[in-house]
């Protein structure tokens, strides 16, 4: 069951007035962690309303002390803080919650400290929040797996025999995980159509997105050990929106028999604010009832999915935004805890900063699919844009914006945005 405490009180309000707005992504009940900079110096902050609370300033002033032996908030990534015991994560959240509470004057009435510690979001640059130790991408939506399987193997063989027994995944590329706002050049690779005698090297012609949720490991596990789903759930520090950009035509040619390689290695975008597991407690919900019984190590005894509303918007170079999809994470067949449990089941060591992509999040209807591959059924159909024009796949100049939020009585927990603009391919002269 959800573990609720004072930080989830729907009636709590902050003296940072914009945090109390009904449509605010970052109320006092959220308190996500991220990395920001002003004048080039990166450090850890918390989003509150339209402000960033500089945690390094509070740590220096002695108002926050996650570690008695070293500082963790004057760092360019969250890994040092995430590596601390889970109880420290929670204690720090409670301390920030108390400092920002509407009745607490300790920071509110200290004009000098407040001026140093509160920075308008518009005056700061947001950065990749973690050092990504490793990146693993899963394939955990039954609707998505069924759609893609039906597209390539027919509806009778849509799901491979193993899919209903384990969360399918593959080791992906950590070096090209980038923060929201980073522009992406269209990838190049080997393309081979069904009637081509030989492949050619050229820019991707079927560029796509995948709407995902990324889970970030905080507590590591030791090589040779395994996890229960309860242990795995607690090990996760927090979550981000994740867009696993996909070159579908490169993927079609390269992925057999081992799976995606260059078609997924060129870029993965994540949102800058890490929404903590504790902030999402009120939104816990069970995974769907398994169609086939899962082996004992994958069985869950608590609701480990989340009720998160998610959407995909496409913004052309010269035109208004079009909402391509609206879906919900709660329908995912395998939770992040199950994915992490399976990942460690062979004795694989999990590390602080490991990133687990959920796989494309698709719902049961066309307007809830999480990839253009599904929305256009492999490019055979087109999507009508709000300002005119159509799309089957992403064109140069298009910006894709992924959003996510949870709603409960009294407040909303938002993830911010996960944005990326596609630039033309870089063509080397000798290609």
Q: Give the active site residue among 8, 127, 144, 405.
A: 144
Strands (E), 117-210: 118-120, 125-127, 135-138, 169-171, 177-179, 184-185, 188-191, 200-203, 207-208
Nearest to 34 by CA among 351, 415, 419, 352: 415
- Separation CA 26–CA 275 (nearest Å): 10
Number of CB atoms found within 10 A of residue 335's CB: 30
Alpha-carbon distance of 403 to 397, in angstroms, equals: 20
Alpha carbon 14 to its chain's center: 27
Contact call for residues 345 and 412 (beta carbons, < 8 A): no
Q: How many CB atoms lie within 10 A of CB 176?
A: 17
- Residue of 10, 34, 14, 4 lying closest to 271 (CA atoms): 34
Residue 247: cis peptide before it, omega within 30 degrees of 0: no
Strand-pair partners of 414: 405
Tokens of 86: 């889970």
SS3 category, 111: helix
Assess contact for 181 and 419: CB atoms under 8 A: yes
Residues making up the chain, counted from first to last: 431
Tell me, yes or no, if 144 is annotated catalytic. yes
* Chain centroid to CA 419: 12
Provide Rg for the chain, Cα atoms. Answer: 22
Structure tokens given for 43: 């450090």
Round to whole Å and give the CA distance between 418 and 395. 18
Our separate counts of H helices and E strands in the chain read: 11, 26
Q: Which residues participate in catalysis according to the annotation?
A: 144
């Amino acid at each position: 069951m959800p573990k609720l405490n004072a930080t989830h009180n729907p009636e709590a309000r902050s003296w940072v007035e914009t945090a109390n707005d009904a449509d605010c992504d970052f109320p006092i009940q959220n308190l996500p962690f991220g990395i920001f900079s002003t004048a080039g110096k990166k450090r850890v902050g918390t989003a509150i309303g339209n402000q960033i609370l500089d945690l390094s300033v509070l740590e220096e002033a002695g108002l926050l002390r996650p570690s008695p032996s070293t500082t963790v908030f004057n760092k360019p990534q969250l890994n040092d803080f995430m590596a601390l015991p889970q109880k420290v994560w929670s204690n720090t959240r409670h301390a920030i919650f108390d400092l920002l509470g509407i009745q607490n004057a300790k920071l509110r009435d200290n004009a000098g400290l407040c001026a140093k510690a509160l920075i308008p979001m518009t005056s700061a640059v947001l950065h990749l929040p973690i050092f990504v130790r490793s990146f693993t991408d899963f394939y955990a939506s039954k609707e998505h797996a069924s759609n893609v399987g039906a597209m390539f193997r027919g509806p009778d063989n849509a799901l491979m025999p193993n899919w209903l027994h384990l969360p399918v995944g593959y080791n992906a590329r950590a070096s090209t995980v980038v923060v929201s706002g980073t522009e992406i050049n269209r990838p190049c690779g080997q393309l081979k159509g069904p009637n081509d005698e030989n492949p050619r090297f050229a820019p991707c012609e079927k560029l796509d997105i995948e709407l995902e949720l990324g889970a970030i490991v905080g507590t590591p596990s030791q090589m040779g050990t395994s996890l229960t789903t309860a242990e795995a759930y607690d090990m996760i520090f927090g979550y981000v929106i994740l867009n696993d950009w996909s070159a579908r035509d490169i993927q079609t040619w390269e992925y057999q028999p081992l799976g995606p390689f260059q078609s997924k290695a060129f870029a993965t975008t994540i949102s800058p604010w890490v929404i903590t597991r504790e902030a999402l407690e009120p939104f816990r919900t069970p995974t769907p009832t398994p169609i086939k019984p899962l082996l004992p190590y994958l069985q869950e005894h608590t609701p480990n999915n989340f009720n998160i509303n998610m959407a995909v918007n496409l913004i052309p170079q010269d035109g208004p935004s079009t909402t391509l999809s609206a879906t919900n994470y709660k329908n995912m067949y395998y939770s992040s805890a199950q994915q992490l449990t399976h990942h460690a089941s062979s004795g694989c060591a999990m590390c602080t900063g490991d990133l687990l992509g959920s796989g494309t999040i698709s719902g049961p209807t066309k307007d809830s699919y999480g990839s253009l591959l599904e929305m256009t059924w492999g490019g055979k159909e087109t999507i009508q844009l709000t300002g005119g024009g159509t799309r089957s796949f992403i064109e140069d100049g298009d910006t894709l914006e992924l959003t996510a939020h949870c709603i409960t009585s009294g407040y909303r927990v938002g993830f911010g945005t996960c944005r990326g603009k596609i630039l033309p391919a870089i063509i080397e002269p000798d290609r």
